[in-house]
Amino acid sequence: MTPAKTQEVPARPALRHRLPWWLAVAVTASGTCAAAWADFTALAAVFAAGAGATAAVAVLRPLLLGRQAELTRLTELARRRAEQVTALSHELRTPLTMIRGSAELLAEGTPGPLTEAQTRFLKVIDHQSAHVVGLCESLLLQAKIEAGLFDPRLERTDISQLARDTVSAMRPLCAQRDQRISIDTPQVTPLIRADPQLVTQALTNLLSNASRYTTAGGHIDVRVAVIDAGLCVYITDDGAGMTREQRGRLFQRFVTGRPLADGTGIGLVITKTIVELHGGSIMVDTTSARGTTMMFTLPRRSGTGTAGGHR
């Protein structure tokens, strides 16, 4: 067997003088890890040559200006992208709204009675139109967040109640697929400062994924638990699960982590962004052919109270 080749790492220069902590912090905060190490090396060479702080500042100033210019450029690109997505979302939602409105009129029998096949086709039209509208809204939200144009509207929120409402909304879809869905919430739930609309969207995305990848007759379990840091929400399905490779692609935009996937992959990206906007984290526990548990945390903040729960 041929031994694997290892990439040689260039030796770091031997320093007679270590960088002052304030210079090290400034350089590290100035850009990416690779760029920061390059800046650190340049300053290290200055100090190794016996130069003082004045020379170091002279080297640091253009480096920081360059990083600031790059940050400004990237911010502008993100803003333009958000504007383009906003325009595209508007152009798509307008005709889709007209399509859904026309389908609703047909379903009501306004032009005349429909056959069973026609009614079934109208349901497909309405469902798929709603799916595309939701995708447009998700893309718009992601673009605004990346451009720094969106801030969550935090208020004292009962996460257990949001979870129960979301599960109730998902029950008809699960019933169509002959899937059972259950929920377990604490007797007393701390109120968390969160954006109810965003948290509901995150819960809906995770439940939709769980339903999509759970076979007919399967089971989905939702649990809200109180932890030291705040709350943790668990969504478990007994579907096909994921391999390590599929799990590694899970939070990539427009990439679905599981086989036979008919989604766009944007839902989990949005969910991860929503959770991180609230200061929480999202995790996955999965084994191929043994189901998946998606969990996310929401931190406890000051000024929270408690709310009664149900089991």
Which of 150, 181, 207 corresponds to the end of one domain?
Answer: 150
CA 183 from centre of chain: 23
For the cut 60, the answer to whether the pLDDT of residue 23 exceeds it is: no
Place of tokens 């002052």: 20
For the chain, the domain total comes to 2
My answer on whether 21 and 144 are in the same domain is yes
Phi, psi of 272 (to 5 degrees): -60, -40
For the cut 90, the answer to whether the pLDDT of residue 104 exceeds it is: no
**DSSP codes of every residue in the chain:** -PPPP-PPPPPPPP-SSPPPHHHHHHHHTTS-HHHHHHHHHHHHHHHHTT--HHHHHHHHHHHHHHHHHHHHHHHHHHHHHHHHHHHHHHHHHHHHHHHHHHHHHHHTTSSS---HHHHHHHHHHHHHHHHHHHHHHHHHHHHHHHTT------EEE-HHHHHHHHHHHHHHHHHHTT-EEEEE--SEEE-EEE-HHHHHHHHHHHHHHHHHTSPTT-EEEEEEEEETTEEEEEEEE-S----HHHHHTTTSTT--SSTT--S-SHHHHHHHHHHHHTT--EEEEE-TTS-EEEEEEEE--TT--EEE---
My answer on whether 173 and 266 are in the same domain is yes
Q: What is the pLDDT of residue 71?
A: 79
Mean pLDDT of 244-269: 68
My answer on whether 75 and 184 are in the same domain is no
Q: Look at residue 214 and tell me if it is in a domain.
A: yes
My answer on whether 82 and 140 are in the same domain is yes
For the cut 70, the answer to whether the pLDDT of residue 302 exceeds it is: no
For the cut 90, the answer to whether the pLDDT of residue 143 exceeds it is: no
Q: What is the CATH number of the domain that holds 278?
A: 3.30.565.10
Retrieve residue 131's tokens: 């799916």
**Segment among 121-130, 191-200, 213-222, 236-245 with least mean pLDDT:** 121-130
Mean pLDDT of 95-118: 84
Mean pLDDT of 89-104: 80
Domain coverage including residue 262: 156-308
Residues 83, 197: Cα–Cα separation, whole Å? 22
Determine contact, residues 231/225, Cβ cutoff 8 Å: yes
**Residue 12 confidence class, pLDDT cut points 50, 70, 90:** very low
Place of tokens 């210019």: 69
Which of 8-22, 134-148, 248-262 has the largest mean confidence?
A: 134-148
